[in-house]
Amino acid sequence: MRDRAQLVLAAAAIVAVALAPVVFAYLQLGYSGDVAASDEYDKPVENADGVLSRAVHHATRDVTATYRWRNRDAAVSSVRSDLESDLGTLRSSRVESGTVYQVEYNRSAAREWTSENCPSGPNRQFGECEAERGVVVQNRGGETHVLAVAFDLRVTNERGWYEVTIVSYVR
């Protein structure tokens, strides 16, 4: 009986040693070499949203001091012109790594944002709001203030594609 127990114990040790390489190979299949890179790869929409928010902030900072309300169309043109280089940079930013960004202005989302976020009626603090070519502007004391810019974003990469509408509002 004692010999049989030793034989079973020896067989179990041999099986355990034989399975060790299989276990290590299995564990390596789930290995993610560069977690920071894969996090960035998984978040293309969030990355684009950050770029668009910063671009809108920079493109709108001088509009108030420059444009009166009667010249709001010129203010909208100025904002769109200032955004063009940032949008071009975003569109070409990750092409070599297989990620393509397509960005367009969304006029209907700008109108919707205006109706939801600009108060109307006699008790409002500022003047009227208008959505022009994807840019929301408001009359504040005869000056044009940019409130938001609406974009349609499409991101395509090896994993698929994402389509979202982003409204970057000026803080």
User: What's the number of CA atoms in the CB half-sphere (13 Å) around residue 138?
Assistant: 22
Q: Are 56 and 105 in contact (CB under 8 A)?
A: no
Given a cut of 60, is residue 42 above it in pLDDT? no
Cα(1)–Cα(5) distance, integer angstroms:
6
* CB burial of residue 47 (10 Å; 0-12, 13-18, 19+): middle
pLDDT band per the 50, 70, 90 thresholds, residue 23: low
Residues 6+ apart with CB under 8 A from 110: 131, 132, 134, 135, 136, 148, 149, 150, 167
Q: What's the mean pLDDT in 142-160?
A: 91
Q: Give me the pLDDT at residue 104, please.
A: 95
Query: Phi/psi of residue 158, each to 5°?
Result: -65, -25
Cα(94)–Cα(30) distance, integer angstroms:
26
Question: Helices in the chain by DSSP H: which ranges?
Answer: 2-29, 35-42, 44-60, 63-66, 72-92, 107-117
pTM of the model: 0.72
Q: Are 116 and 140 in contact (CB under 8 A)?
A: no
For 72-125, write each residue's pLDDT tens digit: 999 999 999 999 999 998 888 777 677 888 999 999 999 999 999 987 777 677
For 51-74, write each residue's pLDDT tens digit: 999 999 999 988 877 899 999 999
| Residue ranges covered by each domain of the chain | 1-31, 40-169
Q: Give me the pLDDT at residue 27, please.
A: 63
Given a cut of 70, is residue 127 above it in pLDDT? yes
Least Cα distance to 160 among 88, 105, 98, 103 occurs for 98
